[in-house]
Amino acid sequence: MKLKKSIFKIVFLISLLGFPVLGRLSAQPVPGKDENIPFLVTFGKEGKTSWGDDDFYQIFFFSILKDYTKPVYIRVFDPDCGGEWDEIQGEFNTKTKFSVYGGKGVDPEKNEESRGLLKGIGVNYKSGNLLASKIFGNDAKYDNKYYTFGPFNPSEGDFNARWNSYMFKIVCEGISGDDGNLYKYYLSSDPDNNVPIEGANAFTYAYHFRMWNDFKSVAHIYPYIDTGIVYIKQKNFDWDDDGSILVVSRYKQGIPVPISNEDNWVNSNIPIEPPEVGSSLDFQFHKRQDDLVKNNNVVIELENQRGDALKFFSSPIGGVPIYQPKLGYEKVKPKK
C-alpha cells in the first residue's frame, strides 16, 4: 500500500512538472487532465461581460474514432446554477440550457458557423440534428452531481474523414439570469461512471474557463498547430491583469503575450517555427503573486495567419509539448 502511495505521489509530481504521462490515449474529461482548470464557465445572458464571459454560450466538440461502435454518453458535472461551485450575482436566478447535436452540420471543419465564432443575425451555431437538450436552474437535485445525456450511437455524429472520427457538439447557453454557471464534461462509455473511450478527444475554438483561486496554480490549454501555419493571433478576454500568459512549445521556452485586464480583448501575433508544426502549444496561465485575483473567468481564442480558428484539444495532440533546448532558445522575460 505504501509503495502504491509513493508511486502515485511520483506520478503526480511528474505530471505537475509538465512531463507527459504515458498510457493516456483515452481521456475525455473537459477540462482535460493536463489543463489544471477547475471548471468551464457560462453566465446567464443578463450577466455583465466584465465578469468574464463575452458571449454567454460555450461550444465543445467530442470526436469518437470510427472503430468505436458502442453507445456513448456525455456527462455534465454540476449542470445547475446554485449551491456549490457556481458564481452568484444577487440571488441565483440563472437558467442554463445544454444541447447535444449530431449529424450533418456539426463538423466545424466543414461548417464554419458550427464553431460558434461568427457573430451577428442569421448566424446559426446550433447546426446539426438536436439529439438531446435540458434546461437547468437552481436545482439541488443536480447540484455537485452529474447529469447524463445519451446513450448516443457514435454513428449519430457527423463523420470527419481527416480525423477518421464522428463529431458531436454540446452547446451550453445562459438563457436567462446573471449568475455564472460552472460545470465540467466527461465523454463516457458508462451512463453512471466516468469511463474513458479510447481514441476519443474533445475540443473547442473559444475556451471560457475559470482559474483556481490559488497563487501557485498554473492552468494550461493546448492548441494544435496544423500544417501551413506561419503565425497565430492570440486573443484573450478579461484576464483581470492576473499575472502572465506564456506560450511554451518544443521550440519556445516561454514567450509572454500581452494580457487583458477588465472586460477587454487583447490580441497579439506569435510566430510559428517549422519544428512546432504538427504538435501542440502549451498556453500557460500564471497567476500574479502579490494580490490573489479571485474567481477569475477568462476567454481565449486563436486564429492562424489566414484568420482560420485553431482548436484547443482537451487531450493535447502529440502529448504535452516539452521545450527542447537543442531546437533553439527563447528566453522567458519575467513579469514584474
- The site for Ca ion (CB under 5 A) is made up of 52, 78, 86, 89-90, 93, 178-179, 181-183, 238, 240, 296-297
Supply the minimum distance, in Å, between the C-beta of residue 177 and Ca ion.
5
What percentage of the chain's residues is helix, strand, coil (to nearest 5)?
10, 35, 55
Supply the minimum distance, in Å, between the C-beta of residue 288 and Ca ion.
12
Q: Which residues pair with 153 in a beta bridge?
A: none
C-alpha angle 168-39-28 in degrees, rounded to nearest 5 = 40
Q: Which is nearer to Ca ion, 52 or 108 (CB)?
A: 52
Q: Which is nearer to Ca ion, 111 or 217 (CB)?
A: 217
Strand (E) or helix (H) holding 13: helix 2-17
Q: Which is nearer to Ca ion, 54 or 86 (CB)?
A: 86
C-alpha dihedral, 204 to 209 to 212 to 218, nearest 10°? 40
Q: Which is nearer to Ca ion, 176 or 268 (CB)?
A: 176
Q: Which is nearer to Ca ion, 156 or 178 (CB)?
A: 178
Q: Which is nearer to Ca ion, 37 or 64 (CB)?
A: 37
The residue with cell 474523414 is 161
Supply the minimum distance, in Å, between the C-beta of residue 1 and Ca ion.
36
CA dist., res. 220 & res. 31, Å (int): 10
How far are the Cα atoms of 84, 133, 225, 242, 291 from residue 76, in angstroms, in the given order?
A: 15, 12, 29, 28, 33
Strand 57-65 relative to strand 312-313: parallel, antiparallel, unpaired?
A: unpaired
Q: What are the residues whose beta carbons fall under 8 Å from the beta carbon of 182, sequence distance 6 or more?
A: 38, 39, 40, 41, 78, 85, 86, 87, 210
Supply the minimum distance, in Å, between the C-beta of residue 217 and Ca ion.
15
Supply the minimum distance, in Å, between the C-beta of residue 204 and Ca ion.
18
Supply the minimum distance, in Å, between the C-beta of residue 153 and Ca ion.
28
Q: Which is nearer to Ca ion, 93 or 133 (CB)?
A: 93
Count other C-beta atoms under 10 Å from residue 254's C-beta: 18
